[in-house]
Amino acid sequence: MMFRLSPAGSLALAALLSAAPASAQTPTYRVTEITGAAGTVCAATALNDSGMTAGACVAMSSGTLTAASGRKATLNNLGLLPFGHYAVATAVNSLGVTVGDGDAGDWQPRPFVTYEGQLLNIDPQGGANMRAIGIMDNDIIFGSPSPGGSTISGRPWAAAGSRSSATAR
């Protein structure tokens, strides 16, 4: 059996066949070294669609681990919660609002959100062993609000100063 294609059919088939390799190409990735301030070693733990990163940097002189976020492979120190010994950023939304956890002097993780350039404990009455794991663009923060630290749930917090309520929801 023989098939005949009209000139229009031939063009359509040629266009379809030439497009197939482009859509079947293997994706390419680029590895970028994350840097921080001089005298620090940094690691990113999260990346958003805007190219912003979140993570932590450790100061080589003191060993202090501080939360950090930034753009274009550079992490900027976000600091610690008041009286804190450590902080780690775990997520950043497309607006640049960062969340994570750090301690308040007792080595127990407490969830924070960045607010006016500082880390704000988002659940100061909630106790310890809680972690903020992610933040959406509508400022809903999710994580582990279990004082026991073993249960991950979907209980959201609302970021202070956001379009949402400033209290836990």
CB 36 within 8 A of CB 45: no
| Cα Rg, the chain, nearest whole Å | 23
Spatial distance between the Cα atoms of 61 and 82, rounded to a whole number of angstroms: 21
In tens, the pLDDT along 92-144 reads: 999 999 999 999 988 989 999 998 889 999 877 766 788 899 998 888 888 87
Please state the domain extents for the chain: 40-158
pTM: 0.70
- Is residue 155 scored above 70 in pLDDT? no
Spatial distance between the Cα atoms of 124 and 31, rounded to a whole number of angstroms: 38
CB 36 within 8 A of CB 42: yes
In tens, the pLDDT along 24-42 reads: 688 887 777 777 888 888 8
pLDDT the model gives residue 127:
67
- Return mean pLDDT, the chain: 77
- Is residue 18 scored above 70 in pLDDT? no
- Is residue 90 scored above 90 in pLDDT? yes
